[in-house]
C-alpha cells in the first residue's frame, strides 16, 4: 500500500484495500484518531462491532510479549466473522515487532494501531508507509474546508441547515480536536430540538466555552503584541488540555492567513477585497483586529514569525526540553516582534 494522500483517506476508511492487514492511525488530533480507529473497527467487526470480535492490546504489553500479535491476528472468531485487533498507545518501540509481522503475516484479522503524533523520522510511521500490506492514516486538525464539511454533514444528518454566518463562526471556533467538534455539534442538535435552522445566536449559545476560542485568543494576542494577554491566554489554552504543538499550529494558521492577505496586497488587491478572499471567511467580530494586524505585520516579519513557529514545533519534537516552555518562548518572541518597528 502506498502512502495515503489526504484526499484518499476517507475512501480508504470506508473500504480498506483487501491486501492491507495492518493500519497505523496517528496524529495530533486525538479525537480524529479515535474516530478513524472506530471506523476501521466497524469495517472489520461489524457495525456495531461484535465485542467478541474486538480485542484491545496495549502497546507496552505487546512490547513485552511480541508473540501476542501473531496469536491474536490468527485467532479464529468464536462467533464467526472477521476480528479487529487494536494496538493502543503504539510507538516506535513496536517497529521491530511489526517489521517481522509484515514479512510473516498471519490470520485475517485487521490490526489497527492507535498512536499519537509521529514525526517524519518515526521508524513506525516509515514502516507503515513503505510496506505493501500496511497503511498509514494521518490525523491532523481540520482545516476550514474539512471542518465545514464535518459541520454540514453532522447537522444535515440531524435534519438541520445552518446559516452562513453561523457556519463561519463555528469554523473559527472548532477544529482543534475532531471528537470535541462532534460533541459541540451534538449539543447544537439537542439545543435545536424540532427546529430546523441553526442561527449565529444558536452557535454562540452552544459553543461559547470551546477550547477553540482560547486557541484563537492565543493567536490574536500574539499577533497584537499583547504580552500580558498572551500569557493569560496561553495558560488557559494549556490548562484546557491543548498540547503545545496544537497551540503552535493554531497560531501558524493565523499567521498564514495574514501572510496570504499580505501577498494579495503586494499584487495590488485592496485590503478589504483581499480579506474577502480568505477561506474560511473571517468572522465579522475579528475583522477589524485582523485588518490592524495586516498593517502591523509586513511580509518579512510574517515570514520570520512563521519561521519561529516552525522551529519551535521542531524543538518540541526533538530536543527533549519542556514543550510548554518552548511554545511560550516562541509566542512571546512573536508578541515582542509585533511591538517593534
Is-contact 23 40, C-beta < 8 A? yes
Pick the CATH number of 211-339 from 1.10.3720.10, 1.20.272.10, 3.40.50.620, 1.10.940.10: 1.20.272.10
pLDDT at 69 over 90: yes
Tell me 75's DSSP state.
Answer: P
Backbone φ and ψ for 270, nearest 5 degrees, come out as: -70, 155
Would you state the pLDDT for residue 15? 86
Please report the pLDDT score of residue 213 as a whole number.
Answer: 63
Percent of the chain's residues with pLDDT above 90: 46
The domain spans of the chain are 6-138, 144-207, 211-339
Percent of the chain exceeding pLDDT 70 equals 96
144-207 CATH pick, 1.10.8.60, 2.40.50.460, 3.40.50.300, 1.10.3300.10: 1.10.8.60
Distances 109 to 70, 106, 251 between C-alpha atoms, Å: 10, 8, 41
Q: 244: helix, coil or strand?
A: helix
CB-CB neighbours of 78 under 10 Å = 9
Q: Is pLDDT above 60 for 50?
A: yes
340 band by pLDDT with thresholds 50, 70 and 90: confident
CATH code, 6-138: 3.40.50.300
Amino acid at each position: 500500500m502506498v502512502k495515503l494522500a489526504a484526499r484518499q483517506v476517507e475512501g480508504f476508511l470506508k473500504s480498506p484495500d483487501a491486501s492491507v492487514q495492518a493500519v497505523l492511525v496517528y496524529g495530533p488530533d486525538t479525537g480524529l484518531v479515535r474516530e478513524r480507529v472506530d471506523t476501521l473497527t466497524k469495517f472489520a467487526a461489524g457495525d456495531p462491532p461484535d465485542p467478541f470480535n474486538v480485542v484491545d492490546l496495549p502497546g507496552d504489553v505487546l512490547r513485552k510479549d511480541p508473540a501476542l500479535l501473531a496469536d491474536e491476528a490468527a485467532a479464529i472468531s468464536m462467533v464467526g466473522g472477521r476480528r479487529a485487533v487494536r494496538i493502543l498507545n503504539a510507538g516506535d518501540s513496536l517497529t521491530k515487532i511489526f517489521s517481522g509481522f509484515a514479512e510473516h503475516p498471519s490470520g485475517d484479522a485487521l490490526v489497527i494501531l492507535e498512536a499519537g503524533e509521529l514525526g517524519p523520522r518515526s521508524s513506525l510511521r516509515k514502516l507503515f508507509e513503505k510496506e505493501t500490506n500496511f497503511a498509514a492514516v494521518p490525523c491532523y486538525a481540520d482545516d476550514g474546508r474539512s471542518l465545514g464539511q464535518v459541520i454540514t454533514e453532522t447537522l444535515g444528518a440531524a435534519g438541520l441547515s445552518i446559516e452562513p454566518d453561523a457556519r463561519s463562526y463555528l469554523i473559527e471556533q472548532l477544529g482543534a480536536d475532531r471528537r470535541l467538534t462532534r460533541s459541540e455539534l451534538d449539543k447544537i442538535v439537542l439545543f435545536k430540538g424540532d427546529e430546523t435552522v441553526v442561527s449565529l445566536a444558536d452557535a454562540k449559545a452552544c459553543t461559547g466555552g470551546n477550547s477553540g476560542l482560547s486557541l484563537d485568543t492565543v493567536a490574536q494576542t500574539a499577533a497584537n503584541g499583547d504580552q500580558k494577554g498572551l500569557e493569560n491566554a496561553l495558560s488557559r489554552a494549556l490548562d484546557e488540555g491543548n498540547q503545545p504543538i496544537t497551540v503552535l499550529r493554531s497560531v501558524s494558521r493565523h499567521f498564514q492567513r495574514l501572510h496570504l492577505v499580505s501577498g494579495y496586497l503586494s499584487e495590488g488587491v485592496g485590503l478589504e477585497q483581499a480579506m474577502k478572499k480568505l477561506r474560511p471567511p473571517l468572522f465579522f467580530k475579528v475583522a477589524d483586529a485582523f485588518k490592524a494586524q495586516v498593517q502591523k505585520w509586513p511580509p518579512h516579519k510574517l515570514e520570520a514569525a512563521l519561521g519561529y513557529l516552525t522551529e519551535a514545533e521542531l524543538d518540541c519534537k526533538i530536543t527533549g526540553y519542556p514543550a510548554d516552555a518552548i511554545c511560550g518562548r516562541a509566542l512571546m518572541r512573536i508578541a515582542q516582534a509585533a511591538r517593534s518597528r
